[in-house]
Structure 1
Amino acid sequence: MLATPGALPPAAQDARWAYETKQDGQRVMVYLPGDGSVRLRARSGEDITGAYPELRPLGAALGRTPAVLDGEVLALDERGRADFQLLQGRMGLAHAPARAARRAAQVPVHLVLFDVPYLQEPLTGLPYTRRRARLTELGLAGPHWSTPGAVTGHGAEALRATREHGLEGLVCKRLDSVYEPGVRSRAWIKIRNMRSEDVVIGGWLPGKGRLTGRPGAVLVGQRAGGRLRYVGGVGTGWSEAERAELAELLRAVAADRCPFDPVPRIADARWVRPRLVGEVSYSIRTRAGMLRQPSWLRLRPDLTPEESAADLPEEFGGTP
């Protein structure tokens, strides 16, 4: 069951909803047949059990009781927050057991569980509150898995708390909602905390297909210690008119040299003089300071590249 992007429910309906932290990890369905084994499947249906050997002991957690659990695999940073960049080094190793074991020792994962569609019998027709109660009663807490709580009501406060703690966002779940496998339902609403910052355009990538002849993405940076450092490529957020306008502006500042230091390895990149400032939204920064899920908001003709608003944050080497 998938959530639909949206906003908080109306205040008058707040008490009809539960609120869970939106995690930045890999969604999994956990199959416990009751024989001590466990199988993990990704949203694609791929069997990814082999990628996470530290989760195998979960197979014996419920004894002979068969169950299907819904959850998210996370890799946590030193502050205990989900870090998708760390997790990427664990994904894709389902068929490389030796490498998966080595990576598990270096970057262990943690599975958070938030639903139980099956427990000896199908529970998909039960309301969220009853499924959640059944899940909590299982007491699934171990060295690499847990069942975080959910808050009923107080949605605005819950969302504010995720922002204050730098978390990805919030998932709102209607208390009477049944579990709809394979459906992106309005009974589950996801809210991603997006941030915005100013960036300097240092290059672009040619578009393909219907975008041939126009930029498919712009390559952006922020100042750090007197140099322009590459922080990501932005390929979404424009209207057709805005993309056409941007193409003209980029042609006017074309350059032969890359303005980023160090030079990023990007095939087919076209470089420009760093004269254009824009504003982008993004979810979080990676540990290296890159923008995750950036989207274009607008040009900032009122700002020059020398404006402090285009500085990389201090923790990534920028100006204090």
Structure 2
Amino acid sequence: MTLPLIAPMLATPGTLPPAAQDARWAYETKQDGQRAVIYLPGDGSLVLRARSGEEITAAYPELGPLGAALGGTPAVLDGEVLALDEHGRSDFQLLQARMGLAHAPARAARKAAEAPVHLAVFDVMHLAGRSLLRLPYRRRRVLLEELALQGPYWSTPRALFGHGEEALAATREHGLEGLVCKRLDSLYEPGVRSRNWIKIRNMTGVDVIIGGWLPGKGRLTGLPGAVLVGQRAAGRLRYVGGVGTGWSEAEREQLAELLRADATDVCPFDPVPRTPGAHWVRPRLVGEVRYSTRTRSGMLRQPSWLRLRPDLTPEESSADLPGDLV
């Protein structure tokens, strides 16, 4: 059967729905992986497409048997390809080693044997020749769970109806990326970033020491486009990433003046990061940033600027790498 190409529906960043509306929403764990639309023609085959529409089937050969999971029933599903760490949590850094292998099937097969991925399925948009796009989420969810998609490398994670505060607290307690809130009456809107789906990222705040900056472009010419930040570890300043968002225009201009006053030709980071075009500064300014997760090497993922901490010197701040990353 020829299945329709369907672009995935996207969530809008936001906060929990008001408590008075809580019962009108379902809550799913936000996973840190690669979004995938799964096409099952009903002949035992399977096609995976990324959010961009690119076919990525060959990158994940271990998911091939899913093609026969529904027998002869054709379907289009929505899900997320995950690489799980030793604690069963999604680890985007692990997944990156697999994401570029769609055109290297031999390498993908070796990687699949070493560390297989897991597919979390959370929606169904087409089933048995019928479009489900105009059905409400609640009904689509029932149909999805009736498919009983549980296998060695795929599953249908549970959705919680109501109890949003408890669901969000649980993701924080277990160190998960966040929560996706979905209106029970929402239709599936292909390719649309909809307010009917709200994503909440669990962000962690941390003190960092500024060691350099990268020039901005366009309207930011002459101003820092990003600051390069680090944390102390074993007597040295370790680079943990670049932060380029979170400032107002006035804050960026103020920071530019402070950075120019602390300019130096010596990189304060050890080891020196690969950051072409960087301007180094003496590591005297402390800032607070927030981020979603860390890579295994301690780099901050999705960092954004919160504020400068002029009340703190580097020695007084808590800008130290966690012990397991030193």
Q: TM-score, normalised by structure 2?
A: 0.96
| Cα distance in structure 1, aligned partners of 2:304 and 2:142 | 39
Counterpart AA for 1:174: R
2:39 alignment partner, one of 31, 42, 47: 31
Q: Offset at 1:286? A: 1.1
| Cα distance in structure 2, aligned partners of 1:44 and 1:167 | 25
| Cα distance in structure 1, aligned partners of 2:218 and 2:115 | 40
2:172 alignment partner, one of 152, 163, 166: 163
Q: Give the match for residue 321 of structure 2.
A: 312
Q: Give the match for residue 127 of structure 1.
A: 136
Comparing 154-163 and 201-210, the one that deviates more: 201-210
1:82 alignment partner, one of 90, 108, 111: 90
| Cα distance in structure 1, aligned partners of 2:175 and 2:312 | 27
Q: Offset at 1:20? A: 0.3
Q: How does 1:138-157 map to 2 (within 5 A)?
A: 138-157=147-166
Q: Give the match for residue 271 of structure 1.
A: 280
Residue 202 of structure 1 pairs with residue 201 of structure 2: no
SS in 2 for 1:198: strand
Q: Give the match for residue 287 of structure 1.
A: 296
Q: Offset at 1:189? A: 0.9
Task: State the Cα deviation string for residues 26-77 of structure 1 (Å, max 9, x = none).
Answer: 1110000011110001110101111111111111111110000000000001
Residue 240 of structure 1 pairs with residue 241 of structure 2: no
Comparing 250-259 and 209-218, the one that deviates more: 209-218
In 2, are the aligned partners of 1:29 and 1:68 still within 8 Å (CA)? yes
Residue 259 of structure 1 pairs with residue 247 of structure 2: no
Comparing 146-155 and 175-184, the one that deviates more: 175-184
Q: Offset at 1:314? A: 1.4
SS in 2 for 1:8: coil
Q: How does 1:53-92 map to 2 (within 5 A)?
A: 53-92=61-100
Residue 213 of structure 1 pairs with residue 222 of structure 2: yes
| Cα distance in structure 1, aligned partners of 2:216 and 2:48 | 37
Q: Which runs of 4+ in 1 moved over 2 A?
A: none
In 2, are the aligned partners of 1:74 and 1:110 still within 8 Å (CA)? yes
Q: TM-score, normalised by structure 1?
A: 0.97
Q: Give the match for residue 54 of structure 2.
A: 46
| Cα distance in structure 2, aligned partners of 1:207 and 1:181 | 35
Q: Give the match for residue 3 of structure 2.
A: none
| Cα distance in structure 1, aligned partners of 2:258 and 2:116 | 47
Q: Offset at 1:308? A: 4.4
Q: Offset at 1:5? A: 1.0
In 2, are the aligned partners of 1:86 and 1:107 still within 8 Å (CA)? no
In 2, are the aligned partners of 1:277 and 1:299 still within 8 Å (CA)? yes
SS in 2 for 1:90: helix
In 2, are the aligned partners of 1:23 and 1:82 still within 8 Å (CA)? yes
Percent of matched pairs sharing the same residue? 80
SS in 1 for 2:264: coil
